[in-house]
A and B are shown apart, each in its own frame.
Chain A
């Protein structure tokens, strides 16, 4: 067994430290070492987006980041999107627009959509589709997901005013 590395990082605003093997992905560390199973593994090679997290403000597929790489960095996972007992507007919009069916891709879509709307509060349909093109959904055909992001954008802009 390879020697483990001690990693200190920030996850969802909390200081977290853990031990990981050099070969373990961030996704594996989140799920199996730290116990945050909201990020999902659909392919383990960066093509499905179900493991999308925010790393220092950028969205990444956590299966393509090594656990040892997150030393001293900041991560937001799906578990950190809601604020206490209040859902994020993107989460509410996904529920109210029926934008999930099986729900396995939903954490990745919500994390990616949240960052989109932080960077672009009024995206066009094309911009939403372009941004979310690294997230596969096999259930919805994307229609209701696009509508949910549009709806969340409106709600978030109204809240800003």
Chain B
């Protein structure tokens, strides 16, 4: 069944529940604490061989020729492939392929799998080999001869936009305000959102602040590198085993790049060791499939950490100019943003989302937002937890803080005065449904952390608030009733943080049974309906909703069956707390399990199902309060105390909501203080290891306090909003504001590492 008519369900959303809102242990937990859980790299199979990928040593080069013959002749090597081995379909290279939160064109997708005529970033795949032994495969890469014509490279959005910049794509014409122009440039797109009249808004303002910001490229930093194993059977059917956020997206992208029917590919999702938006692209899957076709063996390709950092999709660096004006009494009258984002090698940066989110926490009448999607010689950018919003918030929340300071307002009170509410229009068009921006700010204002004294030299407290859109997407779910009354639930959403349980809880709530009676399974793409990927904070929302509807389907069927057994009208019966009862005859009662045992003899098994694409969630807000201490001599910033406040709508599993808030906060701290792609002038990443690309370790951070605010989503049956992403948006800005309060310097660059802080202190005369 599918939902036909949607009715907002606010009554349910404010109800107390039996299962929803509790904290059961996750179903896959034991496998994950004992080492039994099977991640992508753990897969093995009869006749397994290993692939290795040769990557471009140049950030920008034309490929004159590739000769794989010596590699192929090497003992132990079974096959080599280049882009020439891939079929060229009739489909236009401009055709779009869905890849989770960010989409791409087929031609770009193929060139990012194996480069054809040019390499556009250091680390781009150019060829691959398969061998019986992974070491032999890697050694054979040195025998591949590639003749490159090295070209000048360009690494940042402002440089890429210059008239004399090296051009990455000879055929890329700039889309200017919705119109395709004849101008060939690195600017794939320039768009603009306008609300009200900016000049009038600025004229009304008593104080106007304008600042320019630069943020560095950062990586999702999941601990499990990308992996893919594929088997091309003699009947032309392909099976892929991999860790991915988007089993269906990777299946479809693989079919497109291999020119196969979608039905010819089965993707078996393995457990996934983190994604954060970075595991939607297919990368090795089509290459492994092509090597399998050539060899007849199952081929496994696992990226090294250096390959993963250099060859997958980080979130891009950006250049922002933010200008805002406010009246003396604190009303923000005008806001302007210039957002130039590095797309990486192919168009598709998250600048669109940056523009949606940049002023979304505020009710500003006069706004102009200009967005630029600029290709540069870095890896094609991928999604990363609220893509685009963190960069944007770093700029806006710093400027707001400065306005509050100039006007003598408390920074949270100023934000509250201007906070977005239900009915506020965003500059990019949408009018807010019920949202929790005010409630988040009030919870921050009233939190003991915000009101605690902060003593000592070089210490400061910063705050910031942020918004993320939250996605939904298609989802499908099947629930089977077993003869003992237990249930088996099949879903298509890769489980990265406990969503098997948060989804199953929503079905258990409907049926009035403990969630342990449900066995949730993430199944392969042949075994469940299309389910969009685990991104956009969507799984607990969309897959939970389908599980809710599938459980209601079961409820109806079970009541129907009981009515046939008892020969009464179904509408006289009810199913509650795991028991079927009659509203008119107290003698008629049967447990769910008893009825389940009779199903096969009274008409057949009961299977509930639902597939739907739910309406939009209504975005989510979060805020950070952070205390920092700055060492003005070394520039080191220590995070002393951190509080994350987030609107979850309804926290289905509060522990997992807190976990998202804490994890996103610490990723945001890393982005703010340490992490960056450190590039040399030739476009090489100089820090492609986890020693040098330094993510926070346990010693770098304090406990992360959490406050879950619940302003129920007006659409979801239980009011859930999705909680995965918005928590990363505000930490860098809050830290920057804390640094200002500590040592009186405004940071305009990310990361705010010791070198950058010391430089800013010196510039300030310190």
Interface membership of A15, Cβ < 8 A:
no
Asked whether B133 lies within 8 Å of A1 as measured between CB atoms, the reply is: yes
B690, A47: Cβ atoms under 8 Å?
A: yes
Cross-chain contact A146 with B698 (CB below 8 angstroms): yes
The reply to whether the CB of A67 lies closer than 8 angstroms to some CB of chain B is no
Interface residues of B in 211-265 (CB under 8 A from A): 220-225
Q: Which of B327-335, B611-619, B659-667, B757-765 lies on the face that meets chain A?
A: B659-667
What are 5 of the A-B contact pairs (CB < 8 Å)? A37-B42, A98-B659, A101-B663, A135-B698, A143-B703
Please tell me if A87 contacts chain B, counting CB pairs below 8 Å. yes
A68 within 8 A of B: no
Query: What residues of B have a CB within 8 angstroms of the CB of A125 in the complex?
Result: 703
Does A34 make an interface contact (CB < 8 A)? no
Chain A residue nearest in CB terms to B220: A138
Task: Tell which of B29-37, B367-375, B456-464, B548-556 binds the partner.
Answer: B29-37
Asked whether, in the complex, the Cβ of B133 is within 8 Å of the Cβ of A102, the reply is no
Is there an interface contact between B699 and A130, defined as CB atoms closer than 8 Å? yes
Contact among A1, A98, A140 for B136, CB-based, below 8 A = A1
Residue of A nearest to B43 (CB): A37
Contact present for B498 and A98 (CB under 8 Å): yes
Interface string of B265-288 (1 = CB under 8 A from A): 000000111111000000000000
Q: Provide the B38-71 mask, 1 if CB < 8 A to any CB of A, else 0.
A: 1101100000000000000000000000000000
B91 interface residue (CB < 8 Å to A): no
| Chain A residues within 8 Å of B658, by CB | 98, 143-144
Mask for B665-676, Cβ within 8 A of A = 1, else 0? Answer: 111000000000
A121 within 8 Å of B (CB atoms): no
Mask: chain A, 124-145; 1 = CB below 8 Å from B; 0 = not: 0100111011111111111111
**Pick the contact of A140 from B29, B272, B663 — CB < 8 Å?**
B663
B589 interfacial by beta-carbon distance below 8 Å: no
- Cα–Cα, bound, A23→B134 (Å): 12
**Residues of A contacting B23 in the complex (Cβ-Cβ under 8 angstroms):** 98
* Contacting residue for A103 out of B271, B666, B701, B704, CB 8 A: B271
Given A87-B30, A144-B659, also A138-B703 (CB < 8 A): no
Interface size class of A (residues with CB under 8 A): 35 or more
Question: Other than the known A104-B271, A136-B223, what 17 A-B pairs have Cβ atoms closer than 8 Å?
Answer: A31-B41, A37-B38, A38-B35, A43-B689, A43-B690, A79-B36, A98-B23, A100-B32, A101-B660, A102-B497, A104-B274, A106-B33, A133-B699, A141-B663, A141-B665, A142-B666, A146-B698
A62 at the interface (CB under 8 A from B): no
Q: How far is the CA of A42 from the CA of B309 in the complex (A)?
A: 12
A81 vs B35: C-alpha distance when bound (angstroms): 10
A32 to B691 alpha-carbon distance, docked (Å): 25
Chain B neighbourhood of A142, CB < 8 A: 662, 666, 696-698, 701
Residue B25, interface by CB 8 Å: yes
- Which residues of chain B come closer than 8 Å to A98, judged between CB atoms? 23, 26, 498, 655-656, 658-659
Q: Indicate whether A50 sits within 8 Å of B662 (C-beta atoms), given known contacts A95-B25, A102-B274.
A: no
B135 beta carbon closer than 8 Å to chain A = yes
Q: Are B33 and A94 in contact (CB under 8 A)?
A: yes
In the complex, are the beta carbons of B698 and A100 less than 8 A apart? Answer: no
Beta-carbon contact of B497 and A128 below 8 Å = no
**Known contacts A104-B224, A138-B223: does B690 contact A128 (CB below 8 Å)?**
no
A38 surroundings in chain B (CB, below 8 A): 34-36
Contact surface of A with B, Cβ cutoff 8 Å: 1, 21, 23, 31, 36-45, 47-48, 50, 77-79, 81-82, 87, 91, 94-98, 100-107, 110, 125, 128-130, 132-146
For B221, the chain A residues whose CB sits under 8 A away are 138
* Residues on the A chain within 8 Å of B38, using CB: 37
- Tell me if B30 and A138 are in contact (CB < 8 A): no
Interface contact B274-A133, CB-CB below 8 Å: no
CB of B534, distance to nearest CB on chain A (Å):
11
Q: Are A42 and B225 in contact (CB under 8 A)?
A: yes
Q: Which B residues contact A (CB, under 8 angstroms)?
A: 23, 25-26, 28-30, 32-39, 41-42, 76, 133, 135-136, 220-225, 271-276, 302, 304-305, 496-498, 655-656, 658-660, 662-667, 689-691, 695-699, 701, 703-704
* Contact between chains at B33 and A40 (CB < 8 Å): no
Q: Which residues of A contact B36 (CB under 8 A)?
A: 38, 79
In the complex, chain A residues whose CB is within 8 Å of the CB of B37 = 103
What 9 A-B pairs have minimum CB-CB distances, sorted nearest first? Answer: A38-B35, A104-B273, A141-B666, A103-B32, A141-B662, A78-B35, A98-B655, A47-B690, A101-B497
Partner of B34, one of A78, A105, A137, A139: A78
> In the assembled complex, how far is the CB of residue A78 from the closest CB belonging to chain B, in whole angstroms?
4
Residues in A whose Cβ lies below 8 Å from that of B664? 141
Q: Are B698 and A128 in contact (CB under 8 A)?
A: yes
Interface centre among B39, B76, B663, B666 (most CB of A within 10 A): B663
* A102 vs B135: C-alpha distance when bound (angstroms): 28
- How far does the alpha carbon of A97 sit from the alpha carbon of B656 in the complex, in Å? 10
Whole-angstrom distance from the CB of B228 to the nearest CB of chain A? 15
Contacts of A100 in B (CB 8 A): 29, 32-33
Bound-state CA distance A61–B32 (Å) is 19
- A97 to B36, alpha carbons, bound, how many Å? 20
A146, B690: Cβ atoms under 8 Å? no
Q: Give the chain A neighbours of B498 by CB distance below 8 A.
A: 98, 101
Contact A144 B662 (CB under 8 A): yes
A77 touches B223 (CB 8 A): no
Q: Are A139 and B497 closer than 8 Å at their CB atoms?
A: yes
**A143–B662 CB distance below 8 A:** yes
List, in ascending order, chain B residues with CB within 8 A of A136's CB: 223, 690, 695, 697
What is the distance, in angstroms, from A114's C-beta to the closest C-beta of chain B?
11
Once bound together, how far apart are the Cα atoms of A129 and B699, in whole Å?
Answer: 5
A134 to chain B, nearest CB (A): 8
Task: Tell me which residues across on chain B come within 8 A of A129, comparing CB atoms.
Answer: 698-699
Distance between Cα atoms of A23 and B276 in the complex (Å):
34
B642's nearest neighbour on chain A, judged by CB, is: A141
Tell whether A42 pairs with B224 under 8 Å between CB atoms, given A101-B497, A129-B698.
yes
Most-contacted residue by chain A among B26, B28, B36, B223 (CB, 10 A): B223
User: Which chain B positions have C-beta within 8 A of A77?
Assistant: 35
Q: Decide yes or no: A101 and B30 within 8 Å by CB, A47-B690, A136-B690 being known contacts.
A: no
How far is it, in angstroms, between the C-alpha of A101 and the C-alpha of B39 when the chains are bound? 14
- Taking a contact as CB atoms closer than 8 A, the residue among A21, A94, A128, A132 that contacts B135 in the complex is A21
The residue from A87, A104, A143 contacting B33, defined by CB atoms under 8 A apart? A87
Residues in chain B near residue A95, CB distance under 8 A: 25-26, 29-30, 33
A131 CB → nearest B CB, Å: 9
* Chain A: CB-nearest residue to B33: A91
Nearest CB of A to B444, in Å:
18
Instruction: List the A side residues contacting B659 at CB < 8 Å.
Output: 98, 101, 139-141, 144
Nearest CB in chain A: distance from B658 CB, A: 8
In the assembled complex, which residues on chain A have CB atoms less than 8 Å from the CB atom of B33? 87, 91, 94-95, 100, 103, 106-107, 110
